[in-house]
Amino acid sequence: MRINAVVCRIIRQFLRDKRTLVLLIIAPMLVLTLMNFVFNDEDATLNIGVENSNVKKILSSMDKDNNINIMSKKKAEKKFENKDLDAYISGDKKELNILLNGDDNSIIAQLNKNVQESVKNYMSQRAKENKEKLEDLVDNPMIKMSNLNLVNKINSIDLNSTEIKSSNYFGDSDMKTIDYIGPLLIGLFIFFFVFLISGVSFLRERTTGTLERLLATPIKRYEIVLGYLIGFGIFTIVQSAIISIFSIYVLKIYNSGSLGLILLVSTIISLCALSFGMFVSSYANNELQVMQFVPVVILPQTFFCGLFSIRSMAYPLQILSKWMPLTYACDALRGVMTCGYGLQKISGDLLILLGFTLFFAILNIITLKKHRAW
């Protein structure tokens, strides 16, 4: 009977907590649905520049699903800088030189695979055509039977005889997987932990009565929000700086950019996550409920931050990624660390992150109105 009483109390507690019930059911369904769309095994449409028509002919089997255009190397380099090109391929049927953009390992893997398959198809088709021509000659009674030796040589053609050499425009050809995803992980961890810490800390300000006492004074709501942002922000900025420096100098993650610029990006990411965490915590009554928001507001963003190829996703999901702060945070860090971009190149991402920060700060000010007693 006593066990039954405990069971009944827990059941009643869950039934009264509608938010927990909804998150318990909806959150897993939401995440699984996103995973179903993200892991679709579809290839992204590649933008490839080639030196001449001969190279384009070798890559003819790729032409249907990708954009392949003849251009000079100088023009290709300009497109690399603007992230409008994935690779530039030059050479001939004996040797192909692939200059990769180098900032996205998923695109690199797909491109190398497609080029190898295309070269193999080209060599196979070429061998087949030559074989048919020579067989026609052998069938001709005017040609000596010694031409059969030529047919045998065609049969022994090595379909992988074309040598393929790759190099990176951005980054290094010896980069490991962690070097490619390192900037993304730095942005993800800074955003996640600052969100969690700010959400729980601001919740405690409410549950302990500190916020209520502040609201009973003549202090303005925007002053409270700004004060919390600066106060919590000092510690979150220090945290983001430590994470960035540890990743670069201890873990030796590849970095070709300015450390000062990385710290600036990390600071803006932490401020955005801080503002976001404060806003979300306004709808939680305890620490458990703050944690329950993670699968709904943080986990989906991990699918769109660059760890998985956004370009291979369905177009509506690509649009959805534009509405997520973590997309711009990771894009800015990857631009600095992998591509060596300066402030001007990543200014767009930083302005959008600051816009998100301001937007959530305004929502915090509005949300505080419901807590004010007068």
Quick: pLDDT tens for 55-76.
Answer: 888 888 877 778 888 888 888 8
% of the chain at pLDDT higher than 90: 9
Q: Which helix (H) or strand (E) holds 344?
A: helix 343-368
Question: Measuring CA to CA, how many Å separate 365 from each of 146, 222, 282, 317, 370?
Answer: 91, 6, 11, 31, 10
> Rounded mean pLDDT of the chain?
79
Can you list the domains of the chain with their CATH numbers? 47-168 (3.40.1710), 177-371 (no CATH)
Q: What percent of the chain has pLDDT over 70?
A: 84
Above 60 in pLDDT, residue 157? no
51/44: higher pLDDT:
51
Residue 161 is predicted with a pLDDT of 65
- Structure letter (DSSP) for residue 46: P
User: What's the average model confidence in pLDDT over 150-171?
Assistant: 64
The number of angstroms, rounded, from the C-alpha of 338 to the middle of its chain's C-alpha atoms is 13
Question: H or E stretch including 321?
Answer: helix 315-321
Q: Which position has the higher pLDDT, 133 or 334?
A: 334
What was the pLDDT predicted at 145?
47
Mean pLDDT of 322-349: 90
Which tokens is 185 given?
């992980």
Which SS3 state, helix, strand or coil, does residue 342 take? Answer: coil
Inform me whether the pLDDT recorded for 119 exceeds 90.
Answer: no
Residue 47 has pLDDT above 70, yes or no: yes
Q: How far apart are CA 374 and CA 363, in angstroms?
A: 19
- Between 167 and 6, residue with greater pLDDT: 167
One-letter amino acid for residue 243 of the chain:
I
**DSSP code at position 248:** I
Q: What is the pLDDT of residue 349?
A: 93
Task: Please enumerate in sequence order all residues whose Cβ is within 8 A of that of 331, keeping only pairs 6 or more positions apart, or say none.
Answer: 306, 346, 349
The 8-class DSSP code of residue 371 comes to G
pTM of the model: 0.79
pLDDT, position 329: 92
In the sheet that holds 95-100, the strands lie side by side as 67-70, 47-50, 87-91, 95-100, 163-168
Q: 207-237, pLDDT tens digit by residue?
A: 777 777 777 777 787 788 888 888 878 888 8
Range among 29-38, 112-121, 183-192 rated most confident = 183-192
10 Å CB burial of residue 167 (0-12, 13-18, 19+) is exposed
DSSP 169: S
- The whole-number pLDDT of residue 133 equals 61
- Read off the pLDDT band of 80 (50, 70, 90): confident
Whose tokens are 């065609």? That residue is 154
- 186 pLDDT above the threshold of 80: yes
For 270-298, write each residue's pLDDT tens digit.
Answer: 899 989 988 888 877 777 777 778 877 88
| pLDDT, mean of residues 172-182 | 81
- Per-residue confidence (pLDDT) for residue 171, from 0 to 100: 74
Task: Report the pLDDT value the prediction gives residue 22, as an integer from 0 to 100.
Answer: 67
What pLDDT band is residue 328 in, cutting at 50, 70 and 90?
very high
Two tokens at 292? 């329950």
- Measured between alpha carbons, how far is 330 from 325 in angstroms, rounded to an integer? 9
Element (H, E) at 80: helix 73-81
Dump pLDDT digits (tens) for 92-107.
Answer: 777 788 888 877 777 7
pLDDT at 371: 57
- The set of residues, in sequence order, having a beta carbon less than 8 Å from that of 64 and lying 6+ positions away, is none
**Banded pLDDT at 355 (limits 50, 70, 90):** very high
SS3 of 197, please? helix
Number of Cβ within a 10 Å radius of residue 160: 11
Per-residue confidence (pLDDT) for residue 138, from 0 to 100 = 56
Torsion of CA 294, 299, 304, 309, to 10 degrees: 170
Section 344-356 average pLDDT: 93
Rounded average pLDDT over 201-209: 79
- Strands 95-100 and 163-168 turn out to be parallel
Give the residue carrying structure tokens 């009674």: 141
Quick one: pLDDT band at residue 356, thresholds 50, 70, 90?
Answer: very high
According to the model, what pLDDT value does residue 348 have?
92
Torsion over CA of 286, 288, 294 and 295, rounded to 10 degrees? Answer: -130
At residue 261, the pLDDT reads 92
Q: 266, 219, 218: which is closest to 240 by C-alpha?
A: 266
| CA distance from start to end of the chain | 48
